[in-house]
Structure 1
């Protein structure tokens, strides 16, 4: 496929703007570590919200959605749609707590909530575990998608894609810091959305597909359209819907959807002007991320089933693609080759934007862990602001290089997604409860983290895994693998919690005084302090969790009803679409009232 002069013009202008922003903010971003990683905590909700959306608009996401739709149907997306529940919990319960904590990274939380050597170990270990290992895996998955897009659309070798895509990203990330990331995300959001919507509209209407009505009636597509899984197929229902909705959303840690907030979502909440801006940013992100953005990708995935019904047809159309990179996720890139001049340039720019936004965020977030939670905490406690910014920039480059090298060994985006989900299985409940139950200690988190990892490794393609979960001969059905890890991990860390001593009174009281979590889970600590004539509770602030839970439930109804209504309008199922649109309006009205009550509790 050859690019026209107009296509090149779009891409060159886009690169120039991104680099210009990075250079423009580099001087202020390098002023100190707070500016480099949190932009001075002065960011408004709308800019942070757009940045969150742009960050999760990565090149691997449309590939992942395409893989899911082609193999499991639209309803297969419940494996990640379920995380909306986590997102709403973060919006209306945890966002204000994170902003109150005033930490530089969410890992700094550990030595505020816990004490002693276990807390210090937890902070340093997770700085490398998440900031380096998991971060590199996540970025490698994104880079893998870029490799497939470059191979299909431009005929590039994997190393050529890695070098060309990564070079500009790492330059502006290292120069501009967090402010450069957020400012460029503003541009990247609109470019990425325009490309995704434009591509979906054009590709649905190409002659091979024949328009939306023909697409919906195509024999390859009809069985894939259901938004809810087939309730008559028990195994599919359990795997694609019941486990995600009943277990996965609260039990698993996953980048960008951490129970109780965390990672780069927490980084943006910490950069907000105040608690209400943190709430507004995360709510805007969840609406865009779940309710509206998936549908352009889903439409292209459905259209690809008409043009490329199987992997063999993709291989026949693109014989130069390595056999190791062939998969259903490649169909998205394959469809984009049919775009006309001009639109092709916009879409390529949008994919580059998606890649750069995600990678730049991961780089800045990961290097913030390495700087604050490892370098300053472990290696150089007296580090100057200049030294910390320098280490941040060096670690940015190192993380980029390592993730690029790892990407060259990967094959499929869904495999990486599934691996990350399982490695976090059973840890999520700790992240939810640690704010509201005084008895959670550092050993609870350490145990959950190691128990989950050891179980996943033990069960993955081993004789023990075959004995318990083999398709035909295992003790349990295959779908029970994930719940098994969750139950065992949770039981282990809860047992360790009650067998190990609680955190000291001084640590617990200091944490309560700063964040004001409230609730019955802290009653024992508060009452003991009162007996000793120490006041912990801010009497001018009400406990906001009940109002937050109400707003959370209304937010879930609102966003799911918008998501379903959008799908049914596209499908042409007018009755369902109208009913769900009415539900979304009513739930939106009730949410506004609940949100106003919640704001009153925060004053």
Structure 2
């Protein structure tokens, strides 16, 4: 594929703007660690919301969606659509609590909620576990997608893509810090969104595809259009719908969709001006992420089934791609090679934008863990602000190198997605309950983390997994996540009741600061009153019931918007109109609930 002068010009202009932003804000970002990692906690909701959306665009996301659609149909996307429930609980319940905590990272929360040596260990260990290990795995998936795009669209060797894309990204990330990330995300969002929509419109109308009507009736596509799995196929219903909605969303820790909030989503909530801006940012993100953005990727994935019906056809069309990198996820990049000059440059710039946005966010977030929760905590408690910023920049570079190395060893996006889901299974319930149940302690989290990790490694790397799950195993493949969840939950519950609860001092201090409320803290509140200590602020109401009601209305609104968009595209007017009306009604009811929540906050 040959790029024109126009394509190169658009890409160069984009790179220049991004690097210019990083250099421009580098001076203010380097003033202090708070500026470098949280931009002084002055960010408005709309800018943070756009940043979240841009971050989750990623180069691996369209590849993942393509892999899912080609393998399991449109309904296969429930494996990540189910995380909307987690996202809206963060909006209406946890955003307020996180912003009240006023911590620098979500790991600092551990020494607010727990006490003593276990809390200190948990904070330091999670800094490496999440900030380095999990973070490197996540970034390697994004870099793997960039490798495939570079190989298919530009004929680049994997190392050339890694070096080229990585150098630019790590440079502006290390210079600009969090402010540079958020400011460039504003630009990246519009470039990425425009590129995705433009590509979908053009590719669906390719002569070999024949337009939307021909696409939807094509024999390779017709059986993969359903938004819900076929209910006559029990295994598909359980795997694609029941497990994600009944178990996965609350039980699995996954970057960007953490039960109880956390990760880079928490970083943006902590950078917000106040609780109200934190809520607004996360709500805007969830609307864009689930309701509007998936369909351009889905349409390209469906069109790819016409042009490249199987992996063999992709391999035939692109013989220079390494055999180890071949997979259904490669079809997205393969389709983009058919774009015309100009649009090709915009789409390539959008893919670069998606890559840079995600990697820069992951780098800054992971580096914040290394700096605040490991280096300052364990190595140099008296480090100056200048030294903390320097360590942040060095750790940014190291994380980039590690993730690039791992990406060269990986094969496809779905492989990593499945690994991360199982690896964090069983820990999610703790991240929810620790806000609302006083009895959760540091040992609960430590036990769950090790139990889930060890069990997942055994299932993925030994004969235990095939023996228990799959066609030749004792149980069906869909039972793997519930199995890990049940075993892990039993272990951490036992550890919780076999160990001492947190001290009254720790529990009362946490309650005074956060005001979580609810029956799960009644014992702490009552015991404090017996000791003539008042921990409940006057006029405080337990906002969780109202938050859950808003979450349910938000789910109806966003799922209705998502389904309505699909049915309008499919030409199913009656269903589309009914879902559009449902979205309008639920939106009105949600607006009323929103006013109540804002009143409680303000």
Does the alignment reach a TM-score above 0.5?
yes
Residues 391-420 of structure 1: CA distance to partner in whole angstroms, max 9, x if unpaired?
Answer: 000000110011111111010110000000
My pick for the range that moved more, 534-543 or 504-513, is 534-543
Q: Is the 8 A contact 1:82 1:249 kept in 2?
A: yes
Cα deviation for residue 542 of structure 1 reads 1.5
SS in 1 for 2:352: helix
Partner of 1:293: 293
My pick for the range that moved more, 475-484 or 411-420, is 475-484
Partner of 1:517: 516
Partner of 2:395: 395
Q: Say whether 1:596 aligns with 2:595.
A: yes
C-alpha distance in 1, partners of 2:469/2:262? Answer: 32
Partner of 1:330: 330
Cα deviation for residue 453 of structure 1 reads 0.8
Partner of 1:17: 17
Cα deviation for residue 471 of structure 1 reads 1.4
C-alpha distance in 2, partners of 1:460/1:12? Answer: 43
C-alpha distance in 2, partners of 1:463/1:548? Answer: 44
C-alpha distance in 2, partners of 1:334/1:560? Answer: 30
Partner of 1:419: 419
Correspondence 1:262-341 to 2 at 5 A: 262-341=262-341
Partner of 1:558: 557
C-alpha distance in 1, partners of 2:77/2:521? Answer: 38
Correspondence 1:434-513 to 2 at 5 A: 434-472=434-472, 474-513=473-512
Partner of 1:101: 101
Correspondence 1:15-94 to 2 at 5 A: 15-94=15-94
Q: Is the 8 A contact 1:543 1:601 kept in 2?
A: no
C-alpha distance in 2, partners of 1:197/1:502? Answer: 53
Q: Is the 8 A contact 1:143 1:355 kept in 2?
A: yes
C-alpha distance in 1, partners of 2:397/2:388? Answer: 15
Partner of 1:215: 215
Residues 319-377 of structure 1: CA distance to partner in whole angstroms, max 9, x if unpaired?
Answer: 11111111000000000000000000000000000000000000000000000000000
SS in 2 for 1:543: coil
Cα deviation for residue 466 of structure 1 reads 3.1
Partner of 1:185: 185
Cα deviation for residue 470 of structure 1 reads 4.1
Partner of 2:257: 257
TM-score (norm 2): 0.99
Partner of 1:173: 173
C-alpha distance in 2, partners of 1:581/1:555? Answer: 14
C-alpha distance in 2, partners of 1:461/1:469? Answer: 13
C-alpha distance in 1, partners of 2:66/2:463? Answer: 32
Partner of 1:229: 229
C-alpha distance in 1, partners of 2:542/2:234? Answer: 42
SS in 2 for 1:108: helix
Q: Is the 8 A contact 1:254 1:420 kept in 2?
A: yes
Q: Is the 8 A contact 1:541 1:602 kept in 2?
A: no
Partner of 1:541: 540
Residues 552-582 of structure 1: CA distance to partner in whole angstroms, max 9, x if unpaired?
Answer: 1000000000000000001111010000000
Partner of 1:136: 136
SS in 2 for 1:460: helix
Q: Is the 8 A contact 1:51 1:186 kept in 2?
A: yes
Cα deviation for residue 503 of structure 1 reads 0.2
C-alpha distance in 2, partners of 1:105/1:186? Answer: 23
Cα deviation for residue 188 of structure 1 reads 0.1
Cα deviation for residue 61 of structure 1 reads 0.2
SS in 2 for 1:589: helix
SS in 2 for 1:309: coil
Cα deviation for residue 468 of structure 1 reads 2.0
Cα deviation for residue 37 of structure 1 reads 0.1
Q: Is the 8 A contact 1:93 1:545 kept in 2?
A: yes
Cα deviation for residue 601 of structure 1 reads 1.2
Q: How many residues align?
A: 602
Moved segments of 4+, more than 4 Å: none
C-alpha distance in 2, partners of 1:465/1:64? Answer: 23
Cα deviation for residue 602 of structure 1 reads 1.3
Residues 464-499 of structure 1: CA distance to partner in whole angstroms, max 9, x if unpaired?
Answer: 323322413x32222111110001101110111111
SS in 1 for 2:3: coil
C-alpha distance in 1, partners of 2:407/2:461? Answer: 22
C-alpha distance in 1, partners of 2:316/2:523? Answer: 68
Q: Is the 8 A contact 1:174 1:396 kept in 2?
A: yes
C-alpha distance in 1, partners of 2:462/2:35? Answer: 47
Residues 438-480 of structure 1: CA distance to partner in whole angstroms, max 9, x if unpaired?
Answer: 00000000011000011111222533323322413x3222211
C-alpha distance in 1, partners of 2:567/2:463? Answer: 45
Q: Say whether 1:197 aligns with 2:197.
A: yes
C-alpha distance in 2, partners of 1:68/1:28? Answer: 42
C-alpha distance in 2, partners of 1:143/1:476? Answer: 34
Residues 288-335 of structure 1: CA distance to partner in whole angstroms, max 9, x if unpaired?
Answer: 000110000000000000000001110111111111111000000000
Q: Is the 8 A contact 1:542 1:602 kept in 2?
A: no
Note the residue ranges of structure 2 that are not aligned, 5 or more in a row: none
Partner of 2:147: 147
C-alpha distance in 2, partners of 1:258/1:564? Answer: 24
RMSD of aligned Cα (Å):
0.7
SS in 1 for 2:541: coil
C-alpha distance in 2, partners of 1:71/1:25? Answer: 44
Cα deviation for residue 254 of structure 1 reads 0.2
Q: Is the 8 A contact 1:215 1:303 kept in 2?
A: yes
TM-score (norm 1): 0.99
C-alpha distance in 1, partners of 2:336/2:463? Answer: 43
C-alpha distance in 2, partners of 1:293/1:179? Answer: 25
Correspondence 1:234-249 to 2 at 5 A: 234-249=234-249
Cα deviation for residue 7 of structure 1 reads 0.3
My pick for the range that moved more, 228-237 or 457-466, is 457-466
SS in 1 for 2:108: coil
